[in-house]
Amino acid sequence: MPRKGRRRTKAADGEGGGGDDDGGDDGGAQQIQQPQLLDELPQPPPQQHHHHQHQRGQASYDAAEDLRLQQVPVATEPIDEMNLRVLQNYEPTIRSIEAIAASSVVYAFSSETGGWVKADPQIEGTLFLCEQAPLEVDPFVLPRACVFVLNRKGLMNIVVDLARVSAAEVTDGLISLVIEDEAGTTGNVPQVLGLWIHGNGAAGSGSGMDGPQFDPGVVVRRWQAIHTSLQEMLGTSRLADTATILDAGVMVSKLNLAARGLNPDGIATSAIGPQPNVREVMAMVLSQASGHGVTQEG
């Protein structure tokens, strides 16, 4: 299930805004944490009433209290827009959320055992199917979409560019994506990423956490649409043939973001540091497993 989070707002209390900081030394650098997704809006704190002996003191206190409450920001932004801004902090090319699955777990397929191996430490979190800004490489404008798993177990997220997936299917809630490398090949042994959708409370297109049940097939259909567009525009959807154009489009996109004064890598990604790509993540998962497959867990 998705994590629920409430944004805590701090108002001046007339004591210097000490907050939760006790001034102590924690003995080390603070750990960077993923921003929490919100599935309910934060509410303003209830107005407090105090009794004073003198009417003048009461009026003065009430005036100060009213002013303090007026300064407390109240969230009016829809939850989907909040989640979109969180994702854009990692991948600024994302411009809309098409579908959401409340909980997903990342696996890699082991050809040695014929089974699925779960990442250790586990990579688990909300799955987003996202539309991205198209890639513009004259004379082409190529549609773009990705699958983004925002990891609630650590700082390693999973972002899959659907234009670089050679096959996709769904079996019993498990989304299988065959990942191609930069040369457009999967090697002698295909690298297959598994995204297991589980738990209740999944959501559908653009509806936050209160929409219809998530359909894993929407990822496959989006992948098919991307590849159909590539086939129509470029005459092929094979990454071996499209990689050069896709890479050029990504470079142009980053330059355009930088020209607009934005961080082309995303401010959160820059703060965390370089992230491994999908193939590197799967290689790490399989090496950690030491050849022992792990079955799906309920």
Residue by residue, DSSP assigns 151-164 as ESSSS--EEEEGGG
Which residues are bridge partners to 140 per DSSP? 137
Pick 137 or 148 by higher pLDDT.
148
19-55 b/e with 16+ CB inside 10 Å = b? Answer: eeeeeeeeeeeeeeebebbbbeeeeeeeeeeeeeeee
Pick 210 or 131 by higher pLDDT.
131
Two structure tokens written together for 72: 């407390």
Place of tokens 């401010």: 267
pLDDT of residue 36: 46
Do 278 and 159 contact (CB within 8 A), yes or no? Answer: yes
User: Please, what are the domains in the chain?
Assistant: 79-280 (2.30.29.30)
State the amino acid at position 278 in one-letter form: V
Two structure tokens written together for 2: 């998705």
Region 266-273 average pLDDT: 90
State the amino acid at position 162 in one-letter form: L
Two structure tokens written together for 6: 């409430």
**pLDDT > 80? residue 266:** yes
Two structure tokens written together for 141: 């404008």
Closest C-alpha to 142, from 218, 237, 206, 219? 237
Pick 175 or 72 by higher pLDDT.
175
What's the pLDDT band for 276 if we cut at 50, 70, 90? confident
**pLDDT > 50? residue 35:** no
Place of tokens 């925002």: 150
Neighbours of 114 (CB within 10 A): 8
What's the pLDDT band for 28 if we cut at 50, 70, 90? very low
